Every structure is written in structure tokens, then in C-alpha cells.
């Protein structure tokens, strides 16, 4: 039976790989193959073997191809969206020299602080790269490697991001895109190229890095014979440059130059992330001023503690995740793994305002509220980076798009509604990173604009929820504790 063109969008995340098979014309999801990853480490260390990403990609594609019912010959394009920031170091045989240092590995916090000072402070960094180094940034991880494992750094013949590593396995070519590259700390959003002074500062040879595609949807090659054989696909399938996971999610939502600009998104996942696609280059120390996959910009803030932290509090209390009520006087900042926004990598959780009358359900609600307020404050900074006043009625009336696993949870949705006072859209698409990657793959195969493709597919549309009256009392109570805690921790008290 004849079958129309099919594209594959790969989401290689921290915990798993998903391969989404989509009808290239309609965007209809035909199947999603999945395979898990293992993350190792303790006391701030978070590492994974990149070879398992490749094995997981193979398994996910095989499962998706079987489930989709489409013949392998129908596949016309593939693109990889990967977890950002991870440091992959390869040796002469082009195999990993050690496990990859992942984005949430906080051991490189001292190196991030040293790099910030060495270039002249936060504003010197944002003027060049759009972002200030934090523990997550790849440049800090490279500096950590050079200081702690100098023999490994000396043997390194190539440095890749996770999505670069997989794209190279598909094509045999070393290539990246501006979106994911903008999270390294050595790519300048001001010039659109690697920054020579920063490379010199961190001891990085530019020859170790991949070349730069114009956009994430740029066709950079085709499947090699060996990759095609490993995936069970025909050789010659178009391969896009791909991008980072957040940039891909923006494409999947139809955000960008050909779509919605300056419309905020809140992703409730392992981390809490807020971003918006804009044509205004962000340069504020409060944010990561990333490039977008389509040539624009993606100001973004990420909090380390979101759904996993709240689930951990629920487990400690012996409650289901939706057994929560508003926290009352209790305030709980669930900084169980340090924090990134605000930049407090060594922080621990904080509980205050406890009374005899406080219930376990209120403590769980306080954990939701603490995580939500942290990420909603970051949202205000994202809007300012787009040149918008977050408190203006017109901006407050814009729908906040709520995505990620938490967007499917009743308590998360209601907590965000109550504390933000904004109207929400919960998109119908549930695999937005993979959908965005599929749109990049379709762009590589057809030459069409990936944001336009994604908008036509409609994954960014969904359930609209009207605003609730904002709970300013809770907001002010929590922000007061948050500001006090941040001041104490940053001041060394």
C-alpha cells in the first residue's frame, strides 16, 4: 500500500531517547519509539556514556518504524534534538574518552565563577555570548575537565554536544547549529561564530569543534551506508543539522520568525524552563541568551528543581502528587539539587513558616508553590529580554503556553494559574521536542521553513484556560523568603 513521505524527529533527552515518526504532509504522529538512558553520579556528578545514546536511538527508531506501519523507503528526513550543554570528548578513534558530563552536573560551578571573572564579569559575557557561565555551560565543564582530568583533555581530538555526537553518527560529518552552540559559552550570539578570545581563555582549539550550519533545519548531509544499516533505513535520507531540546520545542510550538514571536512558554519537566522566541537579541545576566533554531533568539531561564523535586517531597510525605492544597503560612523552596536560577549551585531545600496546624497536604502545596514562583519570576525576566513589560495588561493577557510532564498534572496547572494570573494554553502536542525535530527533518527534506511546517501541523494549539485572580498574598510571602534566602546564600551567611 502506498505511503506518503515520513520524517523522524529524535528527542535525545537526559533520561531517554524518543523517535517520533510523523506524516510529513500533515504532522500526524504515526508512532513514537522509546529507549531509556542511564545517568550515573552522586554529590553533584551527572554522567552518561554517549554510546548508549546511539544504541538508544537505534532501538527507538526500530520500535517506531515497526509501530508506524510505514515502509522504511517512505522516510525522507531525520533530525536530532538533544539535551543541551553536555560535554562529549572524543579520541583519535572518534569514540568517547569518558562519559559525557551532563547539563545538570554541578561540579563545574567553581570553574563557571572563575570564567565569569576572567573575562571581566557578567556583562562582558552577555555582550559576547548572551549568557553568563553557570555550572551547566559546556565551557565550564571543559575547564573542569582540564583541571581535574588533564590527561583526558590532552588526548581529546574532538569536542561535541550530545546532539552533535548523534548527528555525526548519522552523517559522518561534524556539524552543529547556532541554537545548541549558543549554550556552550564559546559561541557568540553577537557575531554568529565561535569567539576566539573565549576559546583561548578556556584552552580550546577551534579545530576540535564542529562546523556551523545556518539553522537547525539546514540539510547538512544524508545517512551514511553504515548509519542507514544500523537504523534499518535507506541510505540517502536527508539529515538536518538538528538543535538543542529547548530550541526544538520552540519550533514544535510554531514559535519563531515565521510564527509567534515574544509569546512565553513554561516547560514543567525535570527542570522548570521558561523561554520565548524573539528577534531581540537578549543580553542580560539574569538569563541564558540563546540563539533559536531558525536564526532568531531564544531568551531562556532554567530552574533545576521542578517536577522531580516536588515528587520527592510528595514521597517523603507519603502523599500522591495531587494530594496538595495551598501552603498557607508554610514556604518551601525545593532546592534539592542546588539551583540554577537563581544561581545557587550549592543551595539546599528550605522550609519556613511551619505551624502545629500545618498539614502534610499544605507542605506538598508549598513545594509546588516554591517551584512555581521560582520559575514564574524567571518568566518576567524572559519577557523583559523581549522588550516587554511583564506587568502591563497587554503582556499579562498573552497566553502562557504550558508544556512538559507537569502540564498534564492538575495541581501543577492550577498552581501556575493561581500564582501567575495569566491565561494558559496547554498544547495538544505532548512530544514537542520530537515534533520540532520532525519539522526540522521535514525542512531538510523539502527546503520549506520549519516553523511554518510546525504551525501548519498545529501541535502548538490546544486547551485554553482563562486566568484566575492572582494570589498576591502567597506570591509576596514566597518571594520574600526566596529573596532573603538568595541574599544569605550569595553572601556566604
* CA atoms of 44 and 389, how far apart (whole Å): 36
Instruction: Quote the pLDDT of residue 492.
Output: 42
Q: Which residues have CB under 8 Å from 328's CB, separation 6+? A: 353, 355, 357, 358, 362, 365, 366
Cell numbers for 118: 576572567
Q: Are 309 and 268 in contact (CB under 8 A)?
A: no
pLDDT in tens, 147-162: 999 999 999 999 999 9
The answer to whether 178 and 295 have CB atoms below 8 angstroms apart is yes
Which pLDDT band holds residue 485 (cuts at 50, 70, 90)? confident
Residue in 14, 42, 154 with CA at minimum distance from that of residue 98: 154
The predicted pLDDT at position 490 comes to 53
pLDDT of amino acid 225: 97
Q: How far is CA 131 from CA 203, 287, 330, in A?
A: 19, 6, 34
Backbone angles phi, psi at 270, to 5 degrees: -50, -45
From the number of C-beta atoms within 10 Å of its C-beta (0-12, 13-18, 19+), residue 436 rates as buried
Domain range summary for the chain, segments of one domain joined by +:
6-247
Q: Is 439 helix (H, G, I), strand (E, B) or coil?
A: helix
Across the range 264-292, mean pLDDT stands at 93
| Model pLDDT, residue 258 | 81
Residue 84 assigned as binding residue: yes
| Each residue's pLDDT tens digit, 1-33 | 457 999 999 999 999 999 999 999 999 999 999
pLDDT in tens, 235-245: 999 999 999 99
Kindly state the helix (H) or strand (E) to which residue 151 belongs, with its residue range: helix 150-155
Q: Is the pLDDT score of 388 beyond 60?
A: yes
CATH class of the region 6-247: alpha beta
Q: What is the pLDDT of residue 260?
A: 85
The whole-number average pLDDT for the span 427-451 is 96
Q: pLDDT tens, 344-375?
A: 878 899 999 999 999 999 999 999 999 999 99
CA–CA dist 376, 366 (Å, integer): 15
Q: Supply the pLDDT for residue 341.
A: 81
SS (H, E, C) 33-82: EEEECCCECCCCCCEECHHHHHHHHHHHHHHHHHHHCCCHHHEEEEEEEE
| Averaged pLDDT for residues 414-440 | 96
Residues annotated as catalytic are 245
Contact 154, 91 (CB under 8 A): no
Instruction: Give residue 493's pLDDT.
Output: 39
Amino acid at each position: 500500500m502506498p505511503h506518503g513521505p515520513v520524517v523522524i524527529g529524535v528527542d535525545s533527552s537526559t533520561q531517554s531517547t524518543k523517535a517520533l515518526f510523523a506524516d510529513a504532509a500533515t504532522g500526524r504522529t504515526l508512532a513514537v519509539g522509546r529507549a531509556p538512558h542511564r545517568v550515573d553520579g552522586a554529590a553533584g556528578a551527572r554522567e552518561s556514556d554517549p554510546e548508549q545514546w546511539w544504541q538508544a536511538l537505534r532501538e527507538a527508531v526500530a520500535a517506531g518504524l515497526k509501530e508506524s506501519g510505514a515502509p522504511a523507503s517512505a522516510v525522507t528526513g531525520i533530525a536530532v534534538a538533544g539535551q543541551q550543554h553536555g560535554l562529549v570528548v572524543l579520541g583519535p578513534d572518534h569514540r568517547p574518552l569518558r562519559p559525557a558530563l551532563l547539563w545538570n552536573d554541578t561540579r563545574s560551578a567553581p570553574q563557571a565563577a572563575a570564567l565569569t571573572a576572567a573575562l571581566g564579569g557578567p556583562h562582558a559575557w552577555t555582550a559576547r555570548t548572551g549568557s553568563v557561565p553557570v555550572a551547566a555551560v559546556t565551557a565550564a565543564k571543559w575547564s573542569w575537565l582540564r583541571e581535574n582530568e588533564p590527561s583526558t583533555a590532552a588526548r581529546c581530538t574532538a569536542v561535541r554536544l550530545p546532539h552533535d555526537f548523534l548527528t555525526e553518527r548519522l552523517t559522518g560529518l561534524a556539524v552543529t547549529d547556532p541554537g545548541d552552540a549558543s549554550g556552550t559559552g564559546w559561541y557568540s550570539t553577537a557575531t554568529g561564530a565561535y569567539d576566539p578570545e573565549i576559546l583561548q581563555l578556556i584552552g580550546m582549539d577551534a579545530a576540535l569543534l564542529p562546523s556551523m550550519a545556518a539553522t537547525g533545519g539546514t540539510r547538512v548531509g544524508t545517512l551514511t551506508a553504515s548509519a542507514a544499516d544500523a537504523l534499518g533505513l535507506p541510505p540517502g535520507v536527508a539529515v538536518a543539522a538538528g538543535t538543542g531540546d529547548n530550541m526544538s520545542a520552540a519550533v514544535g510550538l510554531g514559535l519563531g520568525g515565521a510564527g509567534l514571536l515574544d509569546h512565553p512558554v513554561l516547560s514543567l519537566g525535570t527542570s522548570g524552563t521558561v523561554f520565548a522566541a524573539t528577534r531581540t537579541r537578549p543580553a542580560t545576566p539574569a538569563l541564558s541568551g540563546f540563539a533559536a533554531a531558525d536564526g532568531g533568539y531564544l531568551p531562556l531561564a532554567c530552574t533545576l528543581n521542578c517536577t522531580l523535586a516536588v515528587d520527592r517531597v510528595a514521597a517523603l510525605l507519603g502523599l500522591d502528587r495531587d494530594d496538595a492544597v495551598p501552603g498557607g503560612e508554610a514556604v518551601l523552596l525545593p532546592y534539592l539539587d542546588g539551583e540554577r536560577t537563581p544561581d545557587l549551585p550549592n543551595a539546599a531545600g528550605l522550609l519556613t513558616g511551619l505551624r502545629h496546624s500545618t498539614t502534610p497536604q499544605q507542605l506538598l502545596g508549598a513545594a509546588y508553590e516554591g517551584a512555581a514562583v521560582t520559575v514564574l519570576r524567571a518568566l518576567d525576566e524572559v519577557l523583559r529580554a523581549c522588550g516587554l513589560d511583564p506587568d502591563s495588561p497587554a503582556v499579562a493577557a498573552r497566553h502562557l503556553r504550558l508544556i512538559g510532564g507537569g502540564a498534564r498534572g492538575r495541581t501543577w496547572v492550577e498552581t501556575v494559574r493561581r500564582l501567575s494570573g495569566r491565561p494558559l494554553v496547554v498544547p495538544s502536542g505532548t512530544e514537542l521536542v520530537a515534533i520540532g525535530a520532525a519539522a526540522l527533518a521535514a525542512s531538510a527534506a523539502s527546503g520549506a521553513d520549519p516553523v511554518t511546517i510546525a504551525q501548519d501541523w498545529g501541535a502548538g494549539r490546544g486547551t485554553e484556560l482563562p486566568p484566575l485572580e492572582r494570589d498576591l498574598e502567597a506570591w509576596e510571602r514566597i518571594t520574600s523568603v526566596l529573596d532573603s534566602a538568595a541574599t544569605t546564600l550569595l553572601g556566604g551567611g
